[in-house]
Amino acid sequence: MFAELVAAAETGRGAGAVAALARLENAAYAHRLAACYRLLLTYTAGMDSAQRDDWVADNWSAVCAEIAAAQSISLGMASAQLATAKTLHEWFPRIAEVAGQGWVSRRMVEVLVNRTRLMMSEQGRAKVDAEIAARIRGWSDWSLQRLQTEIDYWVDRYEPFALRRTQSKSRGRHVEVTIAPDGSGVAYIEAQVLATDGDALDQRLDALAATGCEHYPRTLDQRRADAVGVIAAGGDRLGCLCDREDCDAAHRSASAVIVHVIAREEALSDDTPVQLDGATRQPEASDSPDSPAMTDPGLLLGHGILPASVVAAKIAPTARLRYIRHPGESPPESRYRPSETLAWFVRARDLTCRFPGCGVPAHACDLDHAVPWPLGPTQASNLRCLCRHHHLVKTFWGWRDRQHPDGRIEWLSPTGQTYTTDAGAALLFPRLCRPTAPVDPAIVRRAETLSPEQKARGLAMPRRKLTRQAARHKDIDTERRTNAAVNAARIAKRNQPPPF
């Protein structure tokens, strides 16, 4: 069937080609989910699989690591994809078959999985599977609301107490911070909070905005925006850069929050003409066009670039500076834990977790020895950043790797897939990726003979308080009990005899 869809897409013309490609895209998504589910079955087929269910990096985590690496996506996205695959193939096999033929879009699958999440009856799920599979081919042009309504109808018919209720707005509270992807050095904040908290925040921003120096040319909106940073840092007043000796706001209070920015030394004194404060004015004909920055940008660790002008004007005057030194041909250090100088070189070189597809910032990662200590030395060419999750996956799930003196790492997964990750600084700070002293080849050869069990000798996998399945059942039970009264009243009203 898939080959037929590919052929139809290749021979189609005009709108027919568009339709064929859309169906092929749907089928490819369904087949990708099927491949994810088969990988899960492979990992859970062993006799000792159940013994790993309470590991922090359990069977599910190991599969997600493979899926994330294969697609260069985050662990969260891989886990959501695997959960969708598992639900579709275990609960709704008939719908999965129709999806494999290209009749079901990704959106339809995700809505189905979401709206049926509370179903616990195998008989009810089988009936919903049969009913929807017989009808879903004609749903491709439906709106999201219509899809939800139709699926809810069948859930309500065969397992009424599994019907999900619309979440109240108060339960949908959230705060999202998004760094602008255009390198402008700003971030966007979107939040939904309780009304009382919103009012308190509004008043606090006004109060902090009033503490700024009158000689520092910021508008009220700019002062309120800067006050968000003051709150985040635990401060009690706006800082000021007016350079007046009698300014009460000239010195910012110390902060317990650390934000890491990596930049070339020349960026600290960049003098590119720029206006970051004050009222926005309309450009005039005599104005010269914007010119590129005179210095390469800095990097907000874990996010994106910062223009050198922002680094020089807004960050350097109040930042604590730490100079990063390339270790060159320095010999290994004598301890397991690297010195602060070496540790920060490795973090600045790597920038993120070095596991394929992972983007956890380096300052939130462990420093892992590629060749395990004490066989492996503590030196730059044997150290890399791994987030705690991938550190456990690498140690206990049979991943193999080889690290090169320039920081490049070649990975081999338990299922035989190969990946290469380059040091994160290669683009913005290539000097940090110059080769360092290599690990003794004899040590590397000896390490290659060690089994995963030997490499993990003396280490123990942390355990979960609840297995992943138990936690899921607990969440489902909690939501069903929350909805029980509303669903019971709805069912009672529906079952009342007609008034005649």
Per-residue pLDDT of the chain (500 residues; tens, 9 = 90+): 667 777 777 777 788 888 888 889 999 999 999 999 999 999 998 768 888 888 999 999 999 999 999 999 999 999 999 999 999 999 999 999 999 999 999 999 999 999 999 999 999 999 999 999 999 998 988 999 999 999 999 999 999 999 987 655 556 788 888 888 777 778 888 888 877 787 778 888 888 887 767 666 777 788 888 888 888 877 777 776 666 666 665 555 555 567 888 888 888 887 777 666 666 655 555 555 455 667 888 888 888 888 888 888 877 887 888 899 999 999 999 999 999 999 999 999 999 999 999 999 999 999 999 999 888 999 999 999 999 999 999 999 989 999 999 999 999 999 999 999 999 999 889 999 999 999 999 998 898 887 777 777 777 889 999 899 999 999 999 989 988 888 888 888 877 777 66
- What the block records as the tokens of 142 is 């439906």
358: which strand partners? none
Per-residue confidence (pLDDT) for residue 216, from 0 to 100: 65
Residue 395 CB neighbours (<10 A): 18
**Distances 86 to 81, 328, 467 between C-alpha atoms, Å:** 9, 49, 17
Is residue 322 within 8 Å of residue 340, measured between CB atoms?
Answer: no
Alpha-helical runs (H) found in 284-371: 308-310, 340-350
- The DSSP output letter for 49 is G
Rg over alpha carbons for the chain, rounded to the nearest Å, is 28
Q: How far is the C-alpha of 488 from the C-alpha of 168, rounded, in Å? A: 19
Per-residue confidence (pLDDT) for residue 379, from 0 to 100: 95
The amino acid at 255 = S
Q: How far is the C-alpha of 109 from the C-alpha of 376, rounded, in Å? A: 48
pTM of the predicted structure, to 2 decimals: 0.80
Is residue 140 within 8 Å of residue 102, measured between CB atoms?
Answer: no
Q: How many CA atoms lie within 13 A of 355 on its CB side?
A: 32
Per-residue confidence (pLDDT) for residue 225, from 0 to 100: 87
Per-residue confidence (pLDDT) for residue 321, from 0 to 100: 87
What's the sign of the alpha-carbon dihedral 54, 88, 126, 141? positive
Q: Pick from 5, 7, 63, 75: which is nearest to 35 by CA?
A: 63
Per-residue confidence (pLDDT) for residue 286, from 0 to 100: 52
**Distances 94 to 87, 106, 408, 482 between C-alpha atoms, Å:** 12, 16, 45, 31
